[in-house]
Amino acid sequence: MARDRLIDQILDHLLLMGSDADRLTGAAAVFNRINRTDLRALQALRGGGMTAGRLARTLGVTSGATTRVIDSLVASGQVVREPDPSDRRRVLVRLTRAAQQQVDRTFAQLREDARALLETYGDAELETVARFLEDVRALVREHARRLSPRTAP
């Protein structure tokens, strides 16, 4: 019985984390004086350059909306378009150094606080947390795909 209650508690926290993440995204967008979609694009590009198509899939928006996001971020000096070094026919969108620093500064305190919290866990616990988060993210993406009107049967 205690196990069932613990599982239900975890599931409740997962649902609430969506609202918490949305609130954080809104606050970070306001802090950076950009809209949420532009912020999400900057976060997605933090890991390296990507094509507009991949960015569209990552953001879950249309190619037209992605073009507007990229154009806006290029105009504000936050991203650049560059030829893909491995295929000159493709164009990659990359963060500028200033935008990279801006994204890092925005979330630096959260990363520091989360790191301090994670340091309190043992190695086996960290492995469990990492596996759990990876699995939950996959479940969330799959559920979003199922609910999306573009992929509905």
Residue 15 in this model has a pLDDT that exceeds 60: yes
Cα–Cα distance, 27 to 44 (Å, whole number): 17
What is the pLDDT at residue 148? 80
pLDDT at 152 over 50: no
Which are the contacts of 71, defined by CB distance < 8 A and separation ≥ 6?
Answer: none
Predicted confidence (pLDDT) per residue in 95-148, tens digit: 999 999 999 999 999 999 999 999 999 999 999 999 999 999 999 989 988 998
**pLDDT, average across residues 29-47:** 93
Which of 144 and 69 is assigned the larger pLDDT?
A: 69
**Mean local confidence (pLDDT), 85-94:** 90
Instruction: Give the model's confidence band at 87: pLDDT under 50 very low, under 70 low, under 90 confident, else very high.
Output: confident
Mean pLDDT of the chain: 92
Phi first, then psi, for residue 95 (nearest 5°) are: -70, 145
What's the predicted TM-score (pTM) here? 0.78
Q: Which CATH class is domain 2-120?
A: mainly alpha
Residue (of 115, 133, 145) closest to 21 by Cα position: 133
Higher per-residue pLDDT: 153 or 132: 132
